[in-house]
Amino acid sequence: MRIKPTLGIALGAMIIAGATSTAQAAPKPNILYLYADDLGWGSLNANLESETLTKTPTIDSLVAGGINFRRAYGCMVCSPARSSQQTGFHQGHTWSDRNDPSPSKAIRADDQTIGDLLNAAGYRVAYYGKWGYGADSTKIDPAINNPQTLPVNHGYTDLLAELHHVRAHTFFQPSLWFNNIDTHGKDTVLKYNANKDGKKKEYADDLYAEAAEAFIRTHANGPKPFFCEIAFQVPHTPLGDVVEMDDWFADYDDVDTSDWSEKVKQYAAMVTRQDHHIASLLAALDDPNGDGNTADSVRANTLVIFASDNGGQWGEPHDFFLTNGNLKGTKGKVDEGGIRVPTVFNWKGVIAPGQSTDHITCVSDILPTLCELAGVLPPVGIDGVSIAPLLTGNGQQRVRPWFTHEAGKNWSLIRKDGIKLRNKGRLYKLADGSNTDYEATDLLADSGDPMHETYLKWKDEMEAIALAERVTEPDDFANTYHHWIGANGAKLGRAGNWTDYEYANGGETYISENGAPRERWNANLANTKSADQTAVLDSDINVLGIEISGNPKKGAKQTLAVKSGKTLTGRNEIRISPLGTVKLEGGTLASTRWVDVLKGAILGGTGTLDATLYNAGTLYANPKGITIQGDYHQSASATLKTAIGTHTPLTIKGTATLGGTLDVAAKGLKEKRFTVLSADAITGTFNHPDGIIESGDKRFRIHYTASTVELEKISTVH
């Protein structure tokens, strides 16, 4: 079964950045994503800084050979974590806020997933394990109840999975959902196993791991790179299923477990069984054809990720093994123990071994990270931010200002500096990623604290941010997707110039969105015609994200004219893509994050950017000037064009990081020295040999100070 996705995928190379690599990353690495279920943050030795009692030598080796994120977050339960992982949106914007058993729970047709994007980037894409969407929970013969959410309709070519999370509450399902694009086309079918008729012979995670290993061995040295995710059910309950397997506790024969309860033993056996599966998968990378010769190894060009969806559960095994360490709370809560998860990246020869970082990251960062490594753009306006720069050591790591999580009526917001607000009016300082319960001390509790007024101010500011991130919206709230259909010269704010959006399934409509642009929109202002087109912003518009792009097949441009006094806000992002132009006519572009000018795109005119600007294309600032109320980053491919006049063409109320070229229009000048750029601070330089630039018949020397770039006229070109 399938439903054709309605959103096109914009492809392009991303800017890469960071500082922890040992070598240049090879293009389009293979990716093996190991995803545990309910494995708490404290399950890693590296997080507790002490020896855990469970045996996980393979996972420990991944940590030792890579980088451990001590402050990584998932979601509070299974389905939201998987939705955020696959789409890059947090719970305030993705459809699946919690483990709703309704058929409406889905990754929608318009949602672009890891599978969609990596498939489009040329990957062979496989998923094994707990997917959690698209079929009912019937034990014997489940039926597909929401075809648009099936992995095969989101780019995945190979599948052995459980499509309903409740049905995954056993390890002995009589059937699992299967697809191989080569043999079954787009059909997702039930594949029965030895557990049929109530038997307990084949442990689900064993089946997933065997299928994943076969996939790796088949495609390791194939014509395409591969992405393989194995979403284990371990160590989610039920614990007792593992005792049906032969020698289920043999790994602990050399350990004195006389004081271990049966549940404790079962939990330990499950975690170690998972570790064995991971060892087999890594062995398949090291020696794909299994002949004992590692000449065919793909390990050096494979990124291995190990993580969990949420914190550990409650109860005896979790108390015994300190699966959440000393962190407050458990799975299902927005306390640190419920949402902070183990997360490790391992890539031999690229990521230096033995690292640990307090850089805050979240499961929704996975999609943009993998997109950047694969050389494909993520969907515009997602909540996640790529950490590929940090992993590879190439380029500029962008900063994510805050992180939100929801659990029923409870929510939290964590700022990039570690200040955390609980919606019950509690404020905490998460100083680092250590094994400490920082949520034991509410900063607001002591009214006599000299910082009390500042804390109250932070609380109010953060609550406003959280509400704007939609943390209090009902479960049936989500972002929506809209495409431009306006004529040349049409107004951006007119409802009739945009497509409507509908999310429906099985004859029931869950979202029906029309009218003028609004805060939940991901908008695509793309020219679909053969001639150049212009749209006009003559009223304030606020959307989640917007992309302005031309028509590369026809070579036709798309321009957006931003009129004086008007503001276009893309809360997460405004992206100007190839053949796209934004012309500021006294107006403003605003974002809580950034404006992106990609290679082949143009931003110019006079006006204000209330955002950070990343320029990989062309920025043109006329003599009346552009003011950037944030940082400015100019890449090696970019050009800053200025026209020298009586004003500073480009004013930056932040740091300017320079690269690329400077192009100056200078005619009829009487002065000898001009300021073309001012900033609070300047790093880097433009790429001009000997610091000399020519404009018409004039030659200038570029001078850099701590806060300005100036041009000095030195001669006339004859």
**Cβ 361 vs Cβ 70: under 8 Å:** no
pLDDT recorded at residue 718: 53
**At CA 96, angle to CA 91 and CA 100, rounded to 5?**
130
Distances (CA, A) of 404 to 333, 342, 465: 13, 18, 10
Whole-number Å distance between alpha carbons of 467 and 4: 34
pLDDT at residue 584 above 80? yes
**Span of 15-19, 121-125, 251-255, 527-531 with lowest mean pLDDT:** 15-19
Q: What is the mean pLDDT of the chain?
A: 94
Q: Is residue 646 predicted with pLDDT exceeding 80?
A: no
Q: What pLDDT digit, counting tens, does each position of 36-46 carry? A: 999 999 999 99
Task: Name beta bridge partners: 220.
Answer: none
Lowest mean pLDDT among 22-36, 154-168, 519-533: 22-36
pLDDT at 19 over 80: no
User: How many other C-beta atoms lie within 10 A of the C-beta of residue 392?
Assistant: 25
Residues of the chain with pLDDT > 90, as a percent, come to 89
Element holding 459 (H helix, E strand): helix 452-468
Closest C-alpha to 201, from 170, 172, 234, 232: 172
Q: For position 687, what pLDDT does the model report?
A: 96
If you average pLDDT over residues 47-55, what whole number do you get? 90
For residue 14, what pLDDT is reported? 31
| Banded model confidence at residue 671, pLDDT cuts 50, 70, 90 | confident
Positive/negative CA dihedral, 382, 388, 390, 393: negative
Q: pLDDT tens across 103-147, in order? A: 999 999 999 999 999 999 999 999 999 999 999 999 999 999 999
320/112 Cα distance (integer angstroms) = 41
Q: Each residue of 227-253: pLDDT tens digit? A: 999 999 999 999 999 999 999 999 999
Q: How many residues does the chain have?
A: 718
* CB 573, CB 590: distance < 8 Å: no
CA distance 38 to 59: 16
Q: Nearest CA to 470 among 544, 418, 574? A: 544
In the chain, where the domains are located: 30-401, 407-468, 480-716
**Is the pLDDT score of 193 beyond 80?**
yes
Query: 3-class SS at 349?
Result: coil
Report whether pLDDT(545) > 50: yes
Specify the pLDDT at position 11.
Answer: 31
| pLDDT beyond 80 at 24 | no
User: Does residue 7 surpass a pLDDT of 80?
Assistant: no
* Full DSSP string of 397-455: -----EEEEEETTEEEEEETTSEEEETTTEEEE--SSSS--GGGS-TTS-TTSTTHHHH
Locate 312 and state its tokens.
Answer: 């550990």
Mean pLDDT score, 273-299: 98
Q: Within a 10 A sphere around the Cβ of 222, how many other Cβ atoms?
A: 12
In this structure, how many other beta carbons lie within 10 angstroms of the beta carbon of residue 531? 11
> Residue 610: what pLDDT?
98
Does residue 22 have a pLDDT over 80? no
Query: Do the Cβ atoms of 289 and 265 come closer than 8 Å?
Result: no
| Residue 189: per-residue pLDDT | 97
Contact 591, 570 (CB under 8 A): yes
Side-chain-side CA neighbours of 335 within 13 Å: the count stands at: 21
30-401 domain in CATH 3.40.720.10? yes
- Percent of residues, the chain, with pLDDT higher than 70: 95
The confidence band for 26, taking pLDDT boundaries of 50, 70 and 90, is low
| Reported confidence tier of residue 23, pLDDT bands at 50, 70, 90 | very low
